[in-house]
Amino acid sequence: MNSIATLIQRWKVDPHSTYATWFLWEERLKNFRSIRRGISQVIQDIEQGSFGNAYRGSSLETVVGSVAEQRQIFKGADHAFLWKPKLRIPDIYENQDNQRAFARLLHICNCCDNEAQIIQAITHIDGLNIKGLGPAVANLLYFIHPTLVTPFNTAIVNGYNALTGSKVKLGRWDHYLAMRDGILALNQQHRQLLSNDLGAVAGLLFDVGSGRYPVPPLDGDKQAEDAWHADLLRVREEAASLRKAVKSAKDSDETHTQIQGWLRDLGKALGFAVWVASNDRGRPYGDSRLGDGCLTALPDGLATLPGAEAVRLIDVIWLQDERAVAAFEVEHTTSIYSGIVRLLDLAYGSELKTCDALFLVAPDEREADVRQQIKRPAFSRIGDLGIQYLPYGELRNQRDAIARFGSGLKPILAIAKALN
């Protein structure tokens, strides 16, 4: 087996690798649709002339912020979009023509379904020489076409250069496209070990470029290769800070599941049929699985909604007579934005009212974050929905009493807080 294949195998079984902590993270796939919807909002705002001339408070800040929250690999994704007045970059805030060109790039990639159109759109934007609008945009395009566009940041570039001996430069689209070709070739060569989703190979390059994994020698020197194997074994011992970060992420996932379990049991106690997010049903909860005793398919009225794909990923839905009466999105540490979008897909998926009550369930200390997200321009219509904030503390303290003595939605509405 060659050295790169050995590296990939060791990397995949490492519980602290980006593969384990991000690529296999169940919340990752749930975020794709919400980020795509956010990109559509950016396009719409620019086309309608309502985007404005600032990053702060814009729909772009909202969606880029959601990308930046996708674990360590995307940390800092917003840096390239922050307005730097002394440098006048990125020049999409004060120059309306550049802003519209940016929207066209996003629109074309959002609507196309093949590699040639994506590359053509990138080549076109590159030819316009818009200051500061470089390959960091690929972090948005990845969530539209994860099998055709690779994420981009300094660590990924460093990892690619180290692994292949290349000299890709940051900030240049032509260098990005050349790196993309090389990544596709690398991914194809080790396809059985990686994935059709380029997030996997990007995660490998990120970990190599971050210095977490030593690079195999490129010259085939036996002594160097032996030394590399020894170094590779040593990376199994992670630094205490990294172990702590990974444990914190795992604890967050477990807490999220616990809250879903509370909502599941409470819904059953109140006499509702319960839906648990399709990608969470198999999670261990107590002595069983989170989805045990819950619906295995959405009623036809919900399953045929235009946004049904996102509705299936809503954390918990209570139903009565095959109609949704309450929907809950649990936002422990993940992007509040993504949960709001899924609730919107349920609320606006039909001309008919499809749900009586919508709840964002979050820790007590995140109330300010929830309220700040609701105020974003991208959610200007949400006030009409009467969306509620349900704090963990109230749910923890009152759920047993509600289950024993409550009926209908009245008791859960009594402990929730209005957000408008």
The whole-number pLDDT of residue 240 equals 40
- This model's pTM is above 0.85: no
User: Which carries the bigger pLDDT value, residue 397 or residue 333?
Assistant: 397
User: Are 256 and 304 within 8 A, CB to CB?
Assistant: no
Structure tokens at 289: 């699985």
Q: What is the mean pLDDT of residues 342-359?
A: 76
- Tell me: pLDDT of 329 over 90: yes
The whole-number pLDDT of residue 338 equals 76
**Spacing of C-alpha 249 from chain mean position:** 14
The whole-number pLDDT of residue 201 equals 97
The whole-number pLDDT of residue 242 equals 42
Residues contacting 261, CB < 8 A, separation 6+? 285, 286, 290
The whole-number pLDDT of residue 31 equals 83
Rounded Cα distance, 297 and 275, in Å: 8
Banded pLDDT at 150 (limits 50, 70, 90): very high
Banded pLDDT at 69 (limits 50, 70, 90): confident
Q: How much of the chain exceeds pLDDT 70, in percent?
A: 87
| CA quadruple 89, 58, 137, 141: dihedral, nearest 10 | -170
User: Which carries the bigger pLDDT value, residue 279 or residue 269?
Assistant: 269
The whole-number pLDDT of residue 225 equals 54
Query: Is there a cis peptide before residue 90, judged by omega within 30 degrees of 0?
Result: yes
What are the angstrom distances between the C-alpha of 23 and each of 16, 57, 194, 210, 316? Answer: 11, 30, 11, 17, 24
CA nearest to 335, candidates 375, 305, 366: 366
The whole-number pLDDT of residue 11 equals 92
When the pLDDT of each residue in the chain is averaged and rounded to a whole number, the result is: 86
Backbone angles phi, psi at 343, to 5 degrees: -65, -35
**DSSP, residue by residue, 284-337:** EETTEETTTTS-SS--HHHHTSTTHHHHTTSSEEEEETTEEEEEEEE-SSS-HH
